[in-house]
Structure 1
């Protein structure tokens, strides 16, 4: 099982690259993000590799970063999401955005990818919501939106939208043109920091931050 490759990038074409390791060329499929981070041929690169073995083929999928590889594995556990669709999602949305999108129930981060329609996006949100809790939070999220009120209790409150305030605020901001994945961490934190604040206060404070 191949877990990593270090070699010369011979060429990059379409959704894959060719990496020469001691004279052996490995065809590695990757997201546009990873391909964009590779050095120009013929320079040496190191990529993390996910090996998929099937009856008729052995496929290699490369990742410049460990969190992208982890999300690739996670995405492919969802029914209807194969390797091609998983790479398409990772090509348009970074892992941090996907993490936020799942919690905010924002389909946009998924429907922007080729091969992902509204139904599949809805299934992704449903199936990933429980699994994503095991994934590391994006930088800045563990402190800002999860510490107020203490640990798991604060996180539970933010995710479930106590009394509908969070969802009402997100819907209002969405109507003003802000994406839910963008607004959710700000709204969640503001609700925790301003106990008892009404919808108008949360929206006003969120707009100040989003306007920056």
Structure 2
């Protein structure tokens, strides 16, 4: 089983990246947080991975930190949570936010994720609340876009603005995260949107 890749970031897409390891390109499907944390194309990167094998497909999932992978594995044990939904949840919430939401039974926070309704969010927090304390939270993936998911913040408003312009949620979140990393946490909404549009279009 492939557990980790260390190489160069060769290419990125809406929810995937190609990591070049000694001339071999590995396609890994990632959350928006992981894509933001990996850095720019051409830079060295490390990706923690999980290989999913089905009857007709093999998919390599990539994570910026092992804690995110641990949470992904836990999430996908819940009925109704496949790899796509698992990555959507990890795009919307940092590992620390997810841990706190499960521990507190805060289904509304989990329901912010794309494709997660109130019923599924409730099932997730109910099934994982007793396990949440055993897993770590925070870290690099949380820092990368941690403030994007906070309702009412400039970054959340910027993400919403990009979505209204037709960008998909994962693309909008990734672009705003990169803009905020450049401009700082106190950046105004207008500045975030201006820089994020350049990143999303690029």
Q: Same fold (TM over 0.5)?
A: yes
Tell me the equivalent position of 1:19: 19
Pairs aligned (count): 141
Contact 1:11 1:17 in 2 (8 A): yes
CA drift at 1:137: 6.5
Tell me the equivalent position of 1:34: 34
Tell me the secondary structure at the aligned position of residue 130 of structure 2: helix
Tell me how far apart the structure 2 counterparts of residues 85 and 106 of structure 1 sit (CA, whole Å).
18
1:34-183 mapped onto 2 (5 Å cutoff):
34-136=34-136
Contact 1:3 1:49 in 2 (8 A): yes
Alpha-carbon deviations, 1:156-189, whole Å to 9, x = none?
A: xxxxxxxxxxxxxxxxxxxxx9xxxxxxxxxxxx
Tell me how far apart the structure 2 counterparts of residues 86 and 111 of structure 1 sit (CA, whole Å).
12
CA drift at 1:8: 1.5
Contact 2:95 2:137 in 1 (8 A): no
Tell me how far apart the structure 2 counterparts of residues 76 and 51 of structure 1 sit (CA, whole Å).
13
* Higher RCO (C-alpha under 8 Å, 6+ residues apart): 2
User: How large is the RMSD of aligned CA atoms in angstroms?
Assistant: 2.0
Consecutive unaligned residues in structure 1, runs of 5 or more? 140-176, 178-212
Tell me how far apart the structure 1 counterparts of residues 18 and 30 of structure 2 sit (CA, whole Å).
11
TM (norm. structure 2) is 0.65
Contact 2:104 2:129 in 1 (8 A): no
Alpha-carbon deviations, 1:131-167, whole Å to 9, x = none?
A: 224324669xxxxxxxxxxxxxxxxxxxxxxxxxxxx
Structure 1 residues 137 and 33: CA distance shift in structure 2, 3 A: closer
Bigger radius of gyration among the two: 1
Tell me how far apart the structure 2 counterparts of residues 5 and 12 of structure 1 sit (CA, whole Å).
15
Tell me how far apart the structure 2 counterparts of residues 45 and 133 of structure 1 sit (CA, whole Å).
29
Moved over 3 A (4+): 136-139
TM (norm. structure 1) is 0.62
Contact 2:96 2:136 in 1 (8 A): no
Tell me how far apart the structure 2 counterparts of residues 115 and 42 of structure 1 sit (CA, whole Å).
32
Alpha-carbon deviations, 1:84-136, whole Å to 9, x = none?
A: 00100000101111111112211122111111001101111111122224324
Consecutive unaligned residues in structure 2, runs of 5 or more? 140-150, 152-202
Tell me the secondary structure at the aligned position of residue 112 of structure 1: coil
Structure 1 residues 63 and 56: CA distance shift in structure 2, 3 A: same
